[in-house]
Structure 1
Amino acid sequence: MTTPTTRTPRFDRGRWAQAGPETVHPGVHRIPLPLPDDGLRAVNVYALEGLTEGLVLIDGGWSIPESRKALEDALTQLGHDLGEISHVLVTHIHRDHYTQAVELRRLLGSRVYLGAGERRGLEALGELRTDEPVGSLVNLRRAGAHDLAERVAAMYDDDFDPTVWEAPDRWLHAEELHFGDARLTVVPTPGHTQGHVVYHDRARGLLFSGDHVLPHITPSIGFELGEPSLPLGDYLESLHLMTTLADARLLPAHGPVGDSVHARAGELLAHHDDRLAETLATLGEGVRTAHEVAGELGWTRRKVPFADLGVFDQMLAVNETAAHLDVLVVRGRARRTQTDGVNWYVVPTA
């Protein structure tokens, strides 16, 4: 939602989402799959070939006909077909990453792997049987945005398909996966979701970063089922973790391939430092809710007023503001109290 300055040329911002495969390394191909009516435009899945296990995909895409056709067409251009997909390694539970992986398993017998930290969120989806962002609605009401929560809830219907939210074949922890001569290190990176993981190919100098490290935007925080105690704190720790790994090319889920994970992680950490300072300044001397603070902050690199955002983006903005305020509380820069289920924030007096 919030976006730091980037060095990526503007002409790359749309070109990366155009259909068709891009070879980013021998045997590694980026395949953008469409996300209709979504500002992200596309999600990258990566096809790894030349392995004894057949084709391995990193992320699966959204389970819609347009996505499946785009994947099939791209694999045909590469001289492959859907039937060669043996494994889909998913970075996190969101629909544009997970649901088509489950569909491919049902159609082809492919095996689906997912980070163990996503287990509770997946179970909650099965219990609630709704795609409605229940956790985010709870957060909105806690942030004092009751009217906004009602408008968000009205955007969702009851057309829930439980088959695309089935459990994976294997829950992943911090471990190394072997596919022939290829070695992929699973690195848990909680923040965007509790169970987000990235896949580090140290030998080839590649990091499949999912939504954890993105080249143009910062991932949303606090948009999931369940209630992590400090999602932004988790995310910042996971960003710092990236700088301790051997640097690698950035292969993100949204946007073009980047040259350095370390460089982009550094930009994102600096951005959140700036955003924390801006949030603290906006909080000022009064006692305020996250909704009130979000209403006075600018959004995206263009500093769009909160009132000019769509309903869904307003939800993300309020949740992100609450996440920043909660980090300020942990750091002793703000204090939080609760009245009638609503959190109120204030700068402590000396």
Structure 2
Amino acid sequence: MAQQLAEDLWRLEIPLVGNPLKTLNSYLILGPRSLLVDTGFRQEPCREAMERELEAVGVDRDRMDVFLTHLHSDHTGLAPELVRPGCRVYIGAVDGQRMLAGQSEDAWRRMDAAYVQEGFSEEEMDLLWDSNPAKNAGPVPYDGYVFLRDGDILQRGSHALRCVLTPGHTPGHLCLYEPEARWLFSGDHILFHITPNICRWSGVTDSLGDYLESLKRIRELPVERLLPAHRQQTGDLEQRTRELEAHHARRISDALDAVRREPGRTAYEIAGSMAWSIRCRSWAEFPLTQKYFAVGEALAHLDYLMVRGQVQRREEHGKWRHYTL
């Protein structure tokens, strides 16, 4: 149901069926030219909810642009089909270029092969091939994206929305900050109740280090209304950044302890020995999709340790294995 947060600001609740995140918060800023922030998967439940809620608010669809905080398909999936002629889809230049380059089958094959080297079996990756929503629920091919960069301004009525580059969750994640109303659309950079997934990205040396620096960058922004992309919980920006830093400090310690206890393990094996909030009795019972994200997050923490000279890895019989220094 659409929820009015301010005179010209609405939250649209988009269901993410079968996904642990449960829902997406899409935000709509009304004005002479409106702006929709994030869209949901390219799936029928998301599509039906979005169309229903946009109609309920009464936005002029011929004068509505779309802003995507980052490239993940639960944020981008519906974007090309929501815009009408003359309207625009905005996304950060870094993530936009990655999204376009990553839509080919060859790109997915390379990623799958890399995860096999990190400890997944080929059988597991084959099972993931048709079930990964990043692949089958992302946007249709579209060549009309408008790329934005750090510091760019989107003017919507009386609101001057500034793009703030916050890499970590994705390499080119953008938040939108409105300094007069003190709004921060935080995407997946700042979440409450759950923590953003930070994983390894190809071509990025230290995703977790980037994320921690991005937390510092926005910590002291004057914010009265913090607008995260998932769940209705919200709160104090500075306090939440401190909590997220503490969470990752514990995760870093867990990863280092796991390597020390049993040197020579793959990231898949290390992830299996780390603590996760998912309700499963053992690593073997983890849903395969959640294993994929857990291993990606373990890799980000291992990269953080490798950059700082505490862990090294060696390729042995086609698998990457980790050792302390």
Q: TM-score, normalised by structure 2?
A: 0.89
* Aligned counterpart, 1:137: 112
User: Structure 1 169/135 Cα, relative in aligned 2: closer, same or farther at 3 Å?
Assistant: same
Higher relative contact order (CA 8 A, sep 6+): 1
Q: Gaps spanning 5+ residues in structure 2: where? A: none
Aligned equivalents of 1:256, 1:154: Cα separation in 2: 30
Q: 1:248 to 1:335 in 2, by over 3 A?
A: farther
Output aligned runs, 1:147-158, within 5 Å: 147=122, 148-153=124-129, 155=131
Distance 1:151 1:122 in 2: 23
User: The residue matched to 1:315 in structure 2 has which SS?
Assistant: helix
1:38 aligns with 2:19: yes
- Residue 273 of structure 1, CA deviation: 0.3
Which whole-Å deviations, capped at 9, do the CAs of 1:114-158 have from their partners, x for residues lacking one?
00011332232344388xx5565244223122343333235469x
Is 2:188 aligned against 1:211? yes
Q: Superposed, which structure 2 residues align to 1:185-334 within 5 Å?
A: 185-222=162-199, 226-285=202-261, 286-300=263-277, 305-334=282-311
Cα distance, 1:82 vs structure 2: 5.7
Q: CA deviation at 1:57?
A: 0.7
Q: 2:87 aligns with which of 92, 107, 110?
A: 110
Residues 160, 63 of structure 1: alpha-carbon distance in 2 compared, 3 angstrom cutoff: closer
Distance 1:44 1:284, change over 3 A: same
Measured in 2, the distance between the counterparts of 1:337 and 1:73 equals 53
Higher mean C-alpha deviation, range 36-45 or range 60-69: 60-69
Aligned with residue 54 of structure 2, among 58, 75, 94:
75
With 196-205 and 256-265 compared, the bigger mean Cα shift is at: 256-265
Query: Counterparts of 2:270 and 2:136 in 1: how far apart (Å)?
Result: 34
**What CA distance in whole angstroms lies between the structure 1 residues aligned with 2:287 and 2:197?**
15
Q: Is the 8 A contact 2:5 2:11 kept in 1?
A: yes
User: How far off its partner does 1:288 sit?
Assistant: 1.9
Q: Secondary structure at the match of 1:199?
A: strand
Cα separation, 2, equivalents of 1:156 and 1:257: 27
Give the fraction of aligned pairs with identical amino acids, expressed as a percent.
31
2:69 maps to 91
Distance 1:72 1:151, change over 3 A: closer
Residue in structure 2 matching 1:60, options 39, 53, 56: 39
> Do the aligned partners of 1:139 and 1:319 also contact (CA within 8 Å) in 2?
no
Whether the aligned pair in 2 keeps the contact of 1:299 and 1:305 (CA below 8 Å) is: no
> How far is the alpha carbon of 1:298 from its aligned partner?
2.1
The structure 2 residue matched to 1:146, chosen from 93, 104, 121, is 121
**Judging changes above 3 Å, is the alpha-carbon distance between structure 1 residues 345 and 141 closer, same or farther for their aligned structure 2 residues?**
same
Q: Which residue type is aligned with residue 220 of structure 1? A: N
Q: Distance in 1 between matches of 2:77 and 2:144?
A: 11
**Aligned residues of 1:28 and 1:48 also touching (Cα < 8 A):** yes
Q: Please tell me the residue identity of whatever aligns with 1:92.
A: H
Q: Which runs of 5+ in 1 are unaligned?
A: 1-19
Give the C-alpha shift of residue 74 in structure 1: 2.1
Using a 3 Å threshold, how does the CA distance of structure 1 residues 136 and 171 change in structure 2: closer, same or farther? same
Q: Where does residue 26 of structure 1 map in the other structure?
A: 7
Q: Aligned AA for 1:221?
A: I
The Cα RMSD (Å) is: 2.6
Q: Report how many aligned residue pairs link the two structures.
A: 321
Provide the C-alpha distance between the structure 2 equivalents of 1:91 and 1:294, rounded to a whole number of angstroms. Answer: 28
Are residues 1:345 and 2:314 paired? Answer: no
Q: Is the 8 A contact 2:76 2:138 kept in 1?
A: no
On the 8 A contact 2:193/2:233 being kept in 1, the answer is: no
Q: TM-score, normalised by structure 1?
A: 0.83
Aligned counterpart, 1:120: 97
1-side partners of 2:130 and 2:68: how far apart?
A: 30
Q: Per the alignment, do residues 312 and 227 of structure 1 end up closer, same or farther by CA in structure 2, a change over 3 Å counting?
A: farther
Judged with a 3 Å threshold, the aligned counterparts in structure 2 of structure 1 residues 303 and 214 are, in CA distance, closer, same or farther, namely farther
